[in-house]
Structure 1
């Protein structure tokens, strides 16, 4: 029995020696994807992930693409990145990525600072929106008059630059992809506390070819990703208007269905964005007012001056809903697309549901003039009447005193609205 155990142990050792070094030691490269504004959720996720993988990670790479920070927890993450429990690099990539405001602090404080060619960095001030921050505690000072620990070029405090080569105090090396980073850093020495460690992030395969060791990719879960959609000012504003518009649609459809669920969901997501972003409340109110003007004209089934004012109000509201360029803002074309989408919704979806609810299957309506019906609601001056078993929107041009249950006579037809008078 003892001899069999020894043979099994020796066989295991032989198999282990035949495997690549990465497989022997269970070493990994961990890539943490951090995109969008830095809110509490993404900061907590990044901190937790760094601490969780540190014991088995040969190198942690934070793949950064963030225009701003909107959390007072930024300093906690910055301090962890500056003094990590495992070798760590911050890479602003791929080429379309940006690092503004608080994201620059993560890059500047990292032991290994990397960026992809074509990425944009800068616009350091403000560091974060929301709670006041003590800029002197960060690795890159937001005040160009202070002594900068990283000696960052002064024009980066307000301006942005496209990365083409290393930037003093901010970008040490430029690499277009993760594979290039692994090849460049393999075998280099990094300082980890009081220890100097050599990065071994490749291993020989069976053909004696060096290949990267196993990479693990980490990103927030579905719920966090869904909530963080509304950290884009344009998306948060769009969700707000869509939620209110669909709520109006559901009201005219006279029932609780899928539209009601969509309205609740989009308003909830918009609410999360509004709670995190530096919102201009006057612009938010302007957008809601514009939607109200649309509804005001929609009640009359025709385009009037109120609709034009509503379009302007929603566009201005979209542009200034969050206006902290270049970190957080809505482009003019995004604002135009939002307003266009709402206008088309009212033009087609709202009109269709109202016609389905308030019209008859008869194509011509002139035959209704002179007919009598019953007021389903008071017509003061607008209401609903029933004619030949069909429900119609109706109004009266004078103070007729028509109450629910009264007999009415059709005086005229304007679109899908009946002009009614009290029956004599």
Structure 2
């Protein structure tokens, strides 16, 4: 009996070790799809995020990668990066324009056409992919007919290639580029611009299941199996969210302005460290933000010149002229900071209210500094013998007109040209001649009146 229990315990021990050492079923062994979300302007941050999603889906063996998209468009370079990543992907990529109210505008049209599966949710729209040229105010800019034709033909050829590769409506894609046409989700489905209309991601997975797509440059057929797949959301990392948030003309302008103020405080108070470090960080973040935007470096130069003028006015006797010039330069720099002719007219530059508010606050700060500097220049000297001019002294030896006065703990020889001053009276210093003070009476001296005797 004892041996039987011994063998039983040994068997249980071996079974326990077997369970522990047995590899747990990984996500790669289970059927799942990865989901990334593109919401907002297409820029280098969002392009890097989508490329990371495609790499992750490939590595963890996802059945497909779904890009939920709501974008007005963005930078053509970032759009091209996304398209190239989708075309080279070893995992089927589905673009899903959702939720209701979302759109795929400008660059979003190209990304939708590049996807292996194109889908839209109800109450969404797609289109308006015509290249737009805009001036620094966001208004349409007139360019030569040759340049407009060159850019438009290149964009049309690109989207027709994508349409041919994916078997979608190339004629409508050409119209979207040349005529800026847009269609609703239902019209897009009827025109074969998209493949699926789905209410949500589970519905999309059911409709995708069993479809055959062409993968890679060789266009190798692949049947998708996504019915009942587990949905794995790939979120933007913290730093990606921060970088995406600061990829805005308004934020870039604010960072440049705050960085300039921080560096000014550090230069004005050497050794304070914190303002300099903070200002440096703001400047670096501003440069990153500008790197994700179609920046006009003339605007950056104007902003830098504005701070040079503002700082110079604190040390030069221009009485606010340089401060006014600095405010004007800051406004001009912010207005032309973004090259709005890029990105299909999506970027319209720094918001005028942000621009004016920041310019007035910074200008007001430096104007206050200039006013204080002017007051300091107009004040009498606070050091040296000149500071005694205007001071009050007490007469210790009667001034007739020469005598002695007490001033700041010392006795001084003094002369009063206004008349005699008795002991204890106060006189004002009006000049200094060597070691002799010239003083003036502070008030007329009243002669003593004889006291009348009362009748007895």
TM-score of the two chains, using structure 1 as the length reference: 0.61
Q: Give the drift of 1:263.
A: 1.0
- Aligned partner of 2:113 in structure 1 is 108
Whether the aligned pair in 1 keeps the contact of 2:319 and 2:370 (CA below 8 Å) is no
Higher helix content, 1 or 2: 2
* Shift in alpha-carbon separation, 1:154–1:247, aligned structure 2, 3 A: same
> How much has 1:103 moved relative to structure 2?
3.8
Task: Using the TM superposition, give the Cα deviation of residue 138 of structure 1 relative to its aligned residue in structure 2, in angstroms.
Answer: 3.2
Shift in Å at residue 61 of structure 1? 0.5
Distance in 2 between residues matched to 1:170 and 1:58, nearest whole Å: 24
Q: Is the 8 A contact 2:63 2:91 kept in 1?
A: yes
Q: CA deviation at 1:370?
A: 4.8
Q: What is the correspondence of 1:73-152 to structure 2 with a 5 Å cutoff?
A: 75=80, 77-82=82-87, 84-94=89-99, 99-116=104-121, 117-118=123-124, 121-125=127-131, 138-140=158-160, 149=170, 151-152=172-173
Instruction: Report the alpha carbon displacement of residue 371 of structure 1 after superposing the two structures with TM.
Output: 5.5
Number of the residue aligned with 1:50: 54
Identify if the C-alpha distance between structure 1 residues 29 and 305 changes in structure 2 by more than 3 Å, giving closer, same or farther: same
1:142-172 Cα shifts (integer Å, max 9, x gaps): 9xxxxx8464152444747474534346444
Structure 1 155/191 Cα, relative in aligned 2: closer, same or farther at 3 Å?
A: closer
Deviates more, 1:323-332 or 1:253-262: 323-332
Q: Deviations over 1:263-292 (max 9, x none)?
A: 111111222233443322223323333444
Q: Where does structure 2 lack aligned partners over 5 or more consecutive residues?
A: 1-6, 20-25, 134-150, 163-168, 389-432, 435-456
> 1:98 Cα deviation (Å)?
5.2
Structure with the greater alpha carbon radius of gyration: 2
Query: Which residue in 1 is equivalent to 2:68?
Result: 63
1:328 offset after TM fit, Å?
A: 4.1
Instruction: Name the CA distance, whole Å, in 1 between partners of 2:247 and 2:371.
Output: 34
| Structure 2 equivalent of residue 288 of structure 1 | 304
Equivalent residue in structure 1 for 2:273, among 257, 261, 270:
257
Counterpart residue number, 1:329: 347
Aligned equivalents of 1:277, 1:111: Cα separation in 2:
29
* Counterpart among 333, 340, 343 of residue 360 in structure 2: 343
Q: Which runs of 5+ in 1 are unaligned?
A: 13-21, 143-147, 203-212, 359-364, 375-385, 388-422
Deviation at 1:91, TM superposition (A): 2.2
Alpha carbon RMSD of aligned pairs, Å?
4.9
Structure 1 residue 109, shift from structure 2 partner = 1.3
- Contact 2:38–2:68 under 8 Å retained in 1: yes
1:241 to 244, 257, 269: 257
In structure 2, distance between residues paired with 1:96 and 1:267:
37
1:410: which partner in 2? none
Rounded to whole Å, the distance in 2 between the matches of 1:140 and 1:64 is 21
Do the aligned partners of 2:75 and 2:344 also contact (CA within 8 Å) in 1? no
- Given that 1:85 and 1:192 are in contact with CA atoms closer than 8 Å, whether structure 2 keeps it comes out as no
Please state how far the C-alpha of 1:262 moved relative to its aligned partner: 1.9
1:90 and 1:308 map into 2 onto residues whose CA distance is 51
CA distance in 2, matches of 1:76, 1:371: 66
SS at match of 1:329: coil
Aligned to 1:207: none
CA deviations over 1:1-32 (Å, ceiling 9, x no partner): 89x79xx79xx9xxxxxxxxx98951212112
Alignment of 1:340-419 (within 5 A): 340-345=357-362, 347=364, 370=380, 372-373=382-383
The match for 1:181 among 194, 204, 211 is: 204
SS in 1 for 2:347: coil
Q: Is the 8 A contact 1:100 1:124 kept in 2?
A: no
CA contact (8 A) 1:114 1:174 kept: yes
Select 1:190's aligned residue among 201, 204, 212: 212
- Compute the displacement of 1:330 (Å): 3.3
Residue 30 (structure 2) aligned to one of 9, 26, 32: 26
Contact 1:239/1:270 (8 A) holds in 2? yes
Query: After the TM superposition, which parts of structure 1 deviate over 6 Å for at least 4 consecutive aligned residues?
Result: 300-303, 352-355
Mapped partners of 1:126, 1:289: distance in 2: 31
1:33–1:219 Cα contact (<8 Å) kept: yes
Number of matched residues?
339
- Helix, strand or coil for the counterpart of 1:201? coil
